Amino acid sequence: MRNLRNPFVQVGIWTLGVGAVLSVIVLSVPWLPEDASTQAGTIDTLYDVLAVISCFVFALVISILLVSVVHFRRRHNDLSDGEPIHGNTTLEAVWTAIPALLMLGAAVYSALVLANIEEPKANTQTVDVTGQQFAWTFKYEQGNFRTGVLFLVKGTPYHFKMHSKDVIHSFWVPEFRMKKDAVPGMTTDTRVTPTRYGHFTLVCTELCGLGHSTMRAPVIVGNQAAFDRWAALQKKKQSQVGGIS
Ligand code: CUA
């Protein structure tokens, strides 16, 4: 049991214990809204992994601090000077290398996730998304009509091509997780495959002027038959007002 008095062993035990408890707490909190796209699961796992790593790094820092305070505290009546220390090359190399490896690992993992969620899929439908102060419009390439409602078919991979008519806006449906800016003068894009029926909201998430907080659009995820009926109705409405350019 003499080992337990060793400050390194104490730091190790506290780090594992506190890190594990924090991880359980952090993982049990529902930080994110429900997931409604194939992209969401991969992103959520990345979030969880980074959160757990953060818990253990935090636990390590706090453990070193507390063990140092308790183990190396000045004893009563000890008025001697501290040891003259001029750096420790090994220690500095270790505390530089470990965070560097952690960051590198997180960067490689994130890059793999990004490549995975942005991978083009077969049978992808393209929708042109245009942002302007303070509304979104959607032009369906298949069917050639334009609406203010984003109707998607569950299980279909979508490719959104984004434009802006004035300032920078940002396309975000929290349940889909994917977020991309619409920038004037260029076309940006993002990919989403919806996995859940329901009504969601597209939120502009780039401060774009006085009406920014009202710049929302309804998002509906339904089945193919519902989409076909809806699309026919949109086309009929459009032909009644003279069609689109
Ligand atoms: Cu558009 Cu904020």
Indicate whether 78 pLDDT > 80: yes
pLDDT reported for residue 138: 95
Ligand 1 proximal residues by C-beta, below 6 Å:
131, 134, 169, 204, 206-208, 212, 215
Rounded to whole angstroms, the Cα distance separating 147 from 139 reads 7
pLDDT band at 245 (very low <50, low <70, confident <90, very high): very low
Indicate whether 185 pLDDT > 90: yes
Element (H, E) at 172: strand 169-172
User: Which DSSP state fits 6?
Assistant: S
pLDDT reported for residue 241: 63
pTM, entire model? 0.82
State in Å: Cα 4 to ligand 1 middle: 57
Indicate whether 32 pLDDT > 80: yes
Atom of ligand 1 nearest to the CA of 204: 2
pLDDT reported for residue 226: 95
pLDDT reported for residue 82: 82
Mean per-residue pLDDT for 76-81?
86
Paired residues of 146 in beta bridges: 139
Nearest protein CA to atom 1 of ligand 1, as residue: 169
Atom of ligand 1 nearest to the CA of 211: 2
Helix (H, G, I), strand (E, B) or coil at 58: helix
Helix (H, G, I), strand (E, B) or coil at 36: coil
State in Å: Cα 201 to ligand 1 middle: 14
Element (H, E) at 135: strand 135-140
Question: Biggest alpha carbon distance in the chain?
Answer: 94
pLDDT reported for residue 144: 80
pLDDT reported for residue 193: 96
